[in-house]
Amino acid sequence: MAAPDWLALGLGNPGEEYEGTRHNIGFEVIDLLAERYGVKLTQRLPSLVYGRALVAGTETILGKPRTFMNLSGAAAREAARQWRLSPQQFIVILDDVALPLGRIRVRKRGSDGGHKGLRSVIEALGSQEIPRVRVGIGQPRGDGMVDYVLGRFSRSEWPLVAEAIERAADAVETIIRDGVEVAMNRFNPRGAG
């Protein structure tokens, strides 16, 4: 099998107790992409569960770390070694409390913005030049941040969330097919970097 051109890495926490939580929206996007391409995420490295897909005619790994969020870099490091990938060949999909619920933002590079999972990936790959798709989960109203991100979306939030997951998956496909700049122009709110 040919070496992949891209690795789409959705961030989240493994285990049933974390399914459907705000922090796991990156996993939801990977699951949707796997469904779109008829791929099962059954292959494993010690820190990564993954499947291979032909996205827009391009060899792509769809992966989810098998570690907890704050250690996501282990999966990135392992994948980079396994397939000789540069940081620019990753697309990291993650939740973002700084974005309104349902909004997505594509970035070509940048800091971790306080997201510990992304920080771990940046440290593991030794670069901030990592394309990413941020999915807005909104701000807590009173709950502590940890309780908020590990909480589940309310029934009334789900329509917006489901749409955001679809758009984030579309953004990943656009990055692979047309490049990060095109995806930024198509998916970012006007005036956002």
| Residue positions annotated with a catalytic role | 23
Transcribe the chain into DSSP letters: -PPPSEEEEE----SGGGTTBGGGHHHHHHHHHHHHTT----EEETTEEEEEEEETTEEEEEEEESS-GGGTHHHHHHHHHHHT--GGGEEEEEEETTSPTT-EEEESS---TT-HHHHHHHHHHT-S---EEEEE----SSS-HHHHHTSBPPTTTHHHHHHHHHHHHHHHHHHHHH-HHHHHHHHSPTT--
Find residue 142's DSSP bridge partners.
none
Cβ contact 149:116 at 8 Å: no
**Of 185, 178, 164, 85, which is closest to residue 130 (Cα–Cα)?**
85
